[in-house]
Amino acid sequence: MIYDVVIIGAGPAGLSAGLYAARARMNTLIIEKEAAGGQIATTDEVANYPGSAENATGPSLVSRMVEQAEEFGAKRITDTIESVDVTGKVKILKGENEEYQAKTVIVATGAVPKHIGCPGEKELTGRGVSYCATCDGAFFEDLEVFVVGGGDSAVEEAMYLTKFARKVTIVHRRDELRAAKSIQEKAFKNEKIDFLWDSVITDLKGDGLLETMTVKNVKTGEETEIHADEDDGTFGVFVFIGYDPANKLFEGLVEMENEYIVTDDNMRTNVPGVFAAGDNRVKSLRQVVTATADGAIAATQAEKYIEENFG
């Protein structure tokens, strides 16, 4: 069988693409190697997705997206794609379980934030440890937060967090920031922002919520334990040390920039019939709302491509 659209990835971008493609009566297949949902599946609360229910969680939102895509007729399977051939008019995707053929491919493989890699980080994610200031900043109203990183994103997110937190400390492994000078100047002028130089976080602890972290000075080797304020009971650690887009499969096949897939506004890559949607493409904001928009655009453009090239 030759599918009209094969979507790789079942996060918000892939599920949105699947919904739109299937609703347009295209023969649609969504391939996901793990559980559906991507990063949002691990989010306890989704407060900034327009129209979401008051107590919406990542898993509940994903569950509804899956239902919608399948209601319209999208087929969803679990497989790991190991190689792709996008050179021909019909694209060939070889998975661990099966080989698939498609008139168009939408790459919605996502990206994952780089982690600190210290003990306690995984267990306390969503319980004090976050990788998204826009998603979680409001939960730290009048609390103290620490931002890990020294690039543009880290410093910009630190400034954003000053809208909520009473104090923001940037923890950076070097003795100067890597962010653009204009961004640095704004941060240095902000009275709510402090800096912890030459430092890395080596341990995070807490019973249900983050309560303690250990910071090591990379030059002296000295370790310091930082505790939550007694009245607060917790604090926040926001990690902004980069993302790892899941694009290895397409390296050398489509145009990329810093490992992200380059697309135009219509989600088209430089390879005809291949589209990208979501966090794995070059873009300025990586949120559920932009991922779903990408997916909708990609599916609509895939339909136009099929009409023009397959009659």
Spell out the alpha helix ranges (H) of 74-151: 133-136
Label residues 170-179 b or e (16+ Cβ within 10 Å = b). Answer: bbbbeeebeb
Active-site residues, by number, are 132, 135-136
Give the model's pLDDT for residue 94: 98
pTM value > 0.85 = no
Pair 41, 58: CB distance under 8 Å: yes
Domains of the chain, first to last: 2-113+243-310 (3.50.50.60), 129-239 (3.50.50.60)
Spell out, as residue ranges, where the chain has pLDDT lower than 70.
41-45
Length of the chain: 311
CA atoms of 198 and 196, how far apart (whole Å): 7
CA atoms of 183 and 172, how far apart (whole Å): 15
Give the model's pLDDT for residue 34: 84
Give the model's pLDDT for residue 47: 72
Give the model's pLDDT for residue 52: 82
Pair 291, 277: CB distance under 8 Å: yes
CA atoms of 90 and 306, how far apart (whole Å): 11
Give the model's pLDDT for residue 43: 65
Give the model's pLDDT for residue 59: 84
Give the model's pLDDT for residue 42: 61
E runs forming strands in 48-186? 75-78, 81-85, 91-95, 99-107, 111-113, 129-130, 144-148, 167-171
CA atoms of 227 and 146, how far apart (whole Å): 12
Q: Which positions ≥6 away from 306 have C-beta within 8 Å?
A: 4, 26, 103, 104
